[in-house]
Amino acid sequence: ESIALADGALALCGAATSIADTLLAEIRAVEQQAPFRSMITPGGYTMSVATTSCGRFGWVSDAHGYRYSPLDPDTGKPWPSLPTVFTEFATECAARAGFHDFLPDACLINRYVAGSRLSLHQDRNERDMRAPIVSVSLGLPAVFLFGGLKRNDPTRRFRLSHGDVVVWGGPARLRFHGVLALKDGWHPATERCRINLTFRKAG
């Protein structure tokens, strides 16, 4: 079923459950070419979440800031291409939320282990804020924090479980959000981790 988390944020609960193993197999192919790594934040902290990307652009962070880059800084090569099944699934989910013709050019892949967290932030490095972000949660569940347009606005908590898809656009697109520290656990699809895919139009 689908649930409106807020104006512009639609959860498609379990929408990726039947395609999860296919997505995970593609993630394993991506990580052969572009391994997961812990990025350094502009403030000098090492992220507890490991990331990689595929698509025309990948998300990178270092002492200079956050940005999208056509090259993987670790390999010097272009990021692996977006698997067709990724693009088709993201486009279909966006359309179900009313965002027609969404064509992602970047997929950020976040991997959480016990204790990994993502502090409250906005996603504002994409060029066209009219395009939504489609997120897919795989494996262990996480508690997602959803705030407002200002850092200090109150936050609400949602549980994101295996197979859940959320489409974030319109008035929700610039809302602050984060993920609480992952609890230890085991999931048949991902074993001891959680993987989150975010499909974006970055360029």
Annotated binding site for Fe cation: 121, 123, 177
Q: Is 173 in the site for ligand MD3 (CB under 6 A)?
A: yes
Q: Is 177 in the site for ligand MD3 (CB under 6 A)?
A: yes
Buried b (16+ CB within 10 A) or exposed e, 90-112: bbebbeebebeebebbbbbbbbb
Tell me the C-alpha distance between 88 and 52, whole Å: 20
Please write down the HEC assignment for all residues of 31-83.
Answer: HHHCCCECCECCCCCECCCEEEEEECCEEEEECCEEEEECECCCCCCECCCCC
Span of 10-18, 83-91, 96-104, 166-174 interacting with ligand MD3 by CB under 6 A:
166-174
Task: Select from 143, 174, 141, 137 the least CA-distant residue to 158.
Answer: 143
Site string for ligand MD3, 93-132 (x = CB under 6 A): ---------------x-x-------x----x---------
Note whether 196 binds ligand MD3 by CB under 6 A. Answer: yes
Return the structure tokens found at 12: 């498609």
Judged by beta carbon, residue 33 or residue 48, the one nearer ligand MD3 is 48
Binds 173, which of Fe ion, ligand MD3, none (CB < 5 to 8 A, cut-off by type)? ligand MD3
* Chain residues in the site for ligand MD3 (CB under 6 A): 108, 110, 118, 123, 133, 135, 166, 168, 172-173, 175, 177, 179, 196, 198
